[in-house]
Amino acid sequence: MSVAAFPVLALESGLMGSWVAVRLADGTLIQASVPVRSSNNEELGLLVQRVLTEAGLKPADLQTLVLGAGPGSFTGLRIGFSFTQGLAAALRIPVIKVPSLRACARAYLNQAEVLTVMIDARRAESFCALYERDGAGYLQVHFEDLILSEDELWRRVMDLRDSRGVKGQEFCLVTDSEPTLPWRGCHACKPQGLAAALISLAGEAHFDILMTHQLADLRPNYVRAVSAKTIQERIKDSADRRSGID
């Protein structure tokens, strides 16, 4: 497991708004969220303060930060990573990066055997992942952090389902949009409890842990990296390409 010290604070800001949770050493979990597509530093800070106050903690009491690594909203990810870098540097505590799509599936781990995630990436595509619950109750990754059309995702998931003989009630699609294809009896679910799921995952598997001196290397998993660049970065890239041609 990655989490070594409690209390732990988890943050997810790239998927449908801001999600925050704190877990104490005794297992107490407190969470809050603003499930919308916009996010900002002030909103994230208020959510963090809210869960810390409810837990009877001060920021200095925190021992570990867990962060949703992406993919997701480019702006939301930038905000979450900037906020986390600042907090981790001020408190001198480590940051654990956990895949955001895996957190979407982890929240429904006890409700399905096969879990697929489809999060809107625009351009008629989605950020996609496919997982299966193993005999020990952990998520096994079939694929993760791919950009696919719904058609391609549907084909891959149905191939797995048919090969394993998985029944509809054992099959879950976690999505932030309305599916357009017939997913053959699976139950569609909205993302929920993402920050709490991040903490659970960090306690079940090994992920990258960045110490204070490594915070400059803390970067989101945009997947579609070119589109994630700011206008200023794109202008600079264009200028660099022209210079190379000249």
Query: pLDDT category, 210, cuts 50, 70, 90?
Result: very high
What's the mean pLDDT in 185-196? 90
Q: Which of 122, 98, 95 is nearest to 209 (CA)?
A: 95
- Whole-model pTM: value is 0.88
Q: Pick 54 or 224 by higher pLDDT.
A: 54
What would the two tokens of residue 123 be? 């351009």
- Give residue 5's pLDDT: 87
CB–CB of 100/194 below 8 Å? yes
127-160 core/surface letters (b: 16 or more CB in 10 A; e: else): bbbbbbbeeeeebeeeebbbebebeebbebbbee
Q: Pick 40 or 50 by higher pLDDT.
A: 50
Pairwise CA distance, residues 52 & 68, whole Å: 19
pLDDT higher than threshold 80 for residue 10: yes
pLDDT higher than threshold 70 for residue 190: yes
What's the mean pLDDT in 151-168? 82
Query: pLDDT category, 163, cuts 50, 70, 90?
Result: confident
In the chain, the domains with their CATH numbers are 8-100+194-241 (3.30.420.40), 108-189 (3.30.420.200)
Our measurement of the distance from residue 76's CA atom to the centroid of its chain's CA atoms, rounded to an integer in Å, reads 11
pLDDT higher than threshold 60 for residue 120: yes
Query: pLDDT category, 243, cuts 50, 70, 90?
Result: low
- Torsion sign (Cα): 151, 152, 155, 156: negative
Q: Strands of 125-133's sheet, edge to edge? A: 139-148, 125-133, 114-122, 171-175, 187-189
pLDDT higher than threshold 70 for residue 46: yes
- Report the chain's terminal Cα–Cα distance, integer Å: 52
Q: Which of 68, 152, 57, 64 is nearest to 107 (CA)?
A: 68
| 71 preceded by a cis bond (ω within 30 of 0) | yes
Which residues share a beta bridge with 187? 172
- Give residue 246's pLDDT: 44
- Give residue 161's pLDDT: 78
Return phi, psi of residue 133, to 5°: -80, 125
